[in-house]
Chains A and B, each alone.
Chain A
Amino acid sequence: MSERHPSDDAEQLVALLDGELEAGSEAALAERLPDDADLRARLATLDRGGEGVRRAFDLLLDDAPIARLDAILDGAIAATQKPSPTVPARSRPAWGWLRGLLAPAAAALAAGLVGLWLGFAVLGGPAHEEEGGWLAAVASYWALTTPDTLAIAPTPDHLAKGLALASDRLGITLSPAAIALPDADFRGATVFDYDGKPLVQLAYLDADGTPFAYCVIRAAESGSVQPTAGTMGGFNVVHWSAGDGVDRMLIGRVPGAVLERYAALLSERAG
C-alpha cells in the first residue's frame, strides 16, 4: 500500500464535503473514518472552516453598488457603439483616460437610473390586494411544479408558436430576443386567464436546471411599480410595472438577487 500523505487526505476530505468525490473514493474514505480518530478530527476541522462562508459571500453581493455598476455598463455600451476614433487597446495610465471619457455619460445615466433602483425593497408580500391577487395565483400554481414539469425540451417550432399565441393574447410583442435571458433555457409560453385577463407564463430553467418563470398580465391602468422583491409561498418573487397597463413578475427558487437582475434586464428592454 503506497504511503498516504496528510495533504492527500485533506484533499479527499474536502472533496467529500463538497460532493466532488467519485463513489469509489467516497466508499473508501467512509470505510476508514470509523476507526481513524485523527481522520475524523481533520474532517471536523475542514467542515468547521467552511461554516458561514457561503452566507458571507451572499451578504457581500448585497453590497454591490448597483446604480454605479449599471452606469458603468451603460457607459461601456455607449463607448463600444461609437464610430470609433481608433481607441488604443492599452494606454497609460491604464484607466485614467477612459474614466475621463465616460464620466459625464456615466453621471447622467446614473442619475436616470437611480430612480429605477430606489424601489428595490424586500417585502413580505405584495403592497396591494388587487395587485397581490394574480401574484398569489401564480405562486399557488408554482407550488405544484416539480423537476418533471419542465423536463421535456420543446421544439423550436413549439416555442415559436407558443410565443406568437401569447403575444397575440396579451397584445404585446414577445419576441424570442425580448424574452431571452442569459444562461437560462426558455421552456415555453403558456397562456392562462386570471379574472378575465390574459396571463402569460414564460418558463425557464436556469443554468443549474432550476425552474423559474416570467409572468406577464394585462392590468387595469395602474401606476408604475418599481421592481419589488419578496417571497410568496416559499418562492422568491420580483414584481414590477412600467405603468403601461402591463404587470410583470418573476418567480422561482432561483436566488432573489438573480431575479432582481433579470428584472433589471427585462425592464431595460421594455424601454
Chain B
Amino acid sequence: MITSGNEEVRSGLRVHLPALWRFGLVLSRKRETAEELVQATCLRALERADQYQPGTRLDRWLFSILHSIWINDLRARRIRLGEGQVDAETALVFDGAHAIETNILAGQVLARIGRLPDAQRETVLLVYGEGYSYREAADLLGVPIGTIMSRLASARERLAEEGARPGA
C-alpha cells in the first residue's frame, strides 16, 4: 500500500519541526516570526502535499517552502511595515533557561552569526547547520554555486574577525 502524499508530508513535518523552527529563527531572528513561519509552512506543505514527489528529499522540500514564505511573504511584510531595518536589538540568542546551561562561547558564536548579513546567515545555516552541500544550498536559495562559496567565505572571515576582538 502506498502511503498517501499527505501522510508522508505530515510525517516529514512532525519529524522536522525543530529544524524548521531553527531555520525560521535564523532567517527572521525573532522567535514569534519563527513560529509563524512554521505554521505557514505546515499549512502550505499540507495544502500542496500532492506536489511533493515521493522518493525526493522531503526535508529539502519543506525547507524550500519555508524559505519561500519568508522571502515572499513575511520578510516583504516586515519591510513594508518599516520593520525591515536591521534592529541592532534583534540578537540571536539561546533562550533564558537554556542559556545558563550552554557554554558562553557557543552564545558568542550564535550572536555573531546573528549579526551576519541575511544572505550570509541563511547560507551558513543551511551548509554548516543543516549539512547542505553547496549544490543543494544553491538550488534552494536560487543562486549560483559561486555565490554560495563567496557568502561562506565572507561569513567565515567576518566571524573570525569578530572572534578576534576582545569581548566580542
The interface of chain A, by Cβ under 8 A from chain B, is: 7, 10-11, 13-15, 18, 20, 45-57, 59-66, 68-70, 72-73, 75-77, 79-80, 90, 94-95, 98, 102, 175-177, 180-183, 207-208, 257-258, 261-262, 264-265, 268
Contact = CB atoms under 8 A, between A and B. Distances in A.
A50 B147 CA distance: 18
B127 to A, nearest CB: 7
A53 B109 contact: yes
Nearest to B20: A69
Contacts of A75: 39
Contact of B159 (A11, A49, A66, A268): A49
Contacts of B107: 56
Contacts of B91: none
Interface residues on B, range: 35 or more
B21 A65 contact: yes
A219 B16 CA distance: 30
B137 to A, nearest CB: 10
Contacts of B22: 57, 60-61, 63-64
Nearest to A17: B156
Nearest to A265: B14
A77 B36 contact: no
Contacts of A183: 12, 57-59
A63 B24 CA distance: 13
A63 B21 CA distance: 9
B106 A55 contact: yes
Given A10-B157, A62-B98, A69-B17, A176 B46 contact: no
Given A52-B106, A80-B46, A180 B11 contact: yes
B18 to A, nearest CB: 4
A207 B63 CA distance: 15
Contacts of B127: 18
A98 B39 contact: yes
B43 interface: yes
A136 B154 CA distance: 47
A57 B132 CA distance: 14
Contact of A63 (B14, B43, B95, B109): B95
A66 B17 contact: yes
Given A49-B155, A76-B42, A77-B46, A69 B35 contact: yes
B35 A49 contact: no
A265 B11 contact: yes
B25 interface: yes
A205 B37 CA distance: 29
A49 B12 contact: no
A48 B54 CA distance: 40
Interface in B119-153: 124-125, 127-129, 131, 133-134, 146, 149-150, 152-153
Contacts of B131: 208
A63 B94 contact: yes
A98 B38 CA distance: 13
Given A61-B19, A64-B22, A45 B13 contact: no
A61 B131 CA distance: 14
A206 to B, nearest CB: 10
B10, B95, B125 pick with most chain A CB within 10 angstroms: B10
B50 interface: no
B102 interface: yes
